[in-house]
Amino acid sequence: MACIDARGLRKAYGKTLALAGIDLQVEDGRILGLIGPNGAGKSTALQAILGLIPYEGELKVLGLDPWGERDKLMAQVCFVADVAVLPRWLKVRDAVDYVAGVHPRFDRAKAEAFLAKTTIKPASTVRQLSKGMVAQLHLALVMAIDAQLLVLDEPTLGLDIVYRKSFYDSLLNDYFDQSRTIVVSTHQVEEIQHILTDVAFIDRGRIVLNTSMEAFEARYAELMVGPDRLDAALALKPIQARQVFGRHILLFDGVERARLAELGEVRAPSLADLFVAVMGPAQGASA
């Protein structure tokens, strides 16, 4: 059974179609990156998955109807939003006490052990913490809950690169154990590529690419070629071409690497490069 199974998922706000009948399946034990420009429907999809909004179509999360069975679902799901939701007057130790009191699957010792690795003091209030520390506190509270699904909506927004790297390293090393499922939506495409097992590009409420990282690496290739081999490379119909320091970089879909290697240097493209190629320069720049 898929952890998330959406079929024909649709959501409209008046005349604006936020989700245009998407199909999305996420198997247990996977890490999906949901990537798209602003207004593409990422947050709407996550809100539907979490049972925060009604929707049309079929949607099951951990075998439950998110809208009709949200109470049951929330016992097995954790969510980290793009904005801090902890009251600024709340002390760190009181945040731990609160979650311990309301969530039956919270492990206080695990949360305190994670916080002990940081510079966060139990007596500090949220107001006294930096954005990075607040993100660490959120993650500590989440990782201490024995949840089957973790949903992250721009979890490192506004953090510097040190905290972003620390956040994702902690997620992999201290939380993910290949039995849990993680869905992460972010604009920092290049920073999450190494943690993903699957990726979905969403644009204007539609899924435009949905693939495993294994299939992505096998399907797409980037070729760096000199001017003398450019015409031959273009004849193979790249999906994108750009020029960097006098050399041409072309992105191919489904072309044999051995054939490309005869023309120049072949390498695996980044998700960011593929995103720009699939979405177009304007959309890619916005993300």
Q: Mean pLDDT throughout 5-30?
A: 94
10 and 145 both lie in a single domain: yes
Two structure tokens written together for 261: 């290697």
Straight-line distance from the first to the last Cα atom of the chain, in angstroms, rounded to the nearest whole number: 32
Q: Are residues 135 and 17 in the same domain?
A: yes
The most confident of 162-166, 168-172, 176-180, 182-186, by mean pLDDT:
182-186
SS3 32: strand
Whether residue 248 sits in one domain with residue 155: no
* Tens-place pLDDT, residues 55-92: 999 999 999 999 999 999 988 998 887 666 788 999 99
SS (H, E, C) 211-262: EEHHHHHHHEEEEEECHHHHHHHHCCCCCEEEEECCEEEEEEECCCHHHHHC
State which residues form the domain around 191.
Answer: 4-212
The three-class DSSP label of residue 177 is coil
CATH code where residue 28 lies: 3.40.50.300
Pair 175, 44 in one domain: yes
Residue 127: pLDDT band with limits 50, 70, 90: very high
Q: For 227-243, how does the pLDDT look when each residue is reduced to its tens digit (9 = 90+)? A: 899 999 999 999 999 88
Among the three residues 186, 212, 238, which one is the final residue of a domain in this structure?
A: 212
**Do 19 and 68 lie in a common domain?**
yes
Domain boundary residue among 180, 212, 244?
A: 212
Same domain? For 66 and 97 the reply is yes
Per-residue tokens: 219:
């399907």
**Strand 206-212 to strand 77-80: parallel, antiparallel, or no bridges (unpaired)?**
unpaired
Is the domain of 156 the same as that of 81? yes
Summary mean pLDDT of the chain: 89
Q: Verify that 15 and 142 share a domain, yes or no.
A: yes
The number of folded domains in the chain is 2
Residue 159's pLDDT band (cuts 50, 70, 90): confident
pLDDT for 164 equals: 82
Q: Give the whole-angstrom CA distance, residue 172 versus residue 168.
A: 6
Given this model, what pLDDT does residue 286 score? Answer: 40
Beta bridge pairs of residue 266: 223
Pair 178, 281 in one domain: no
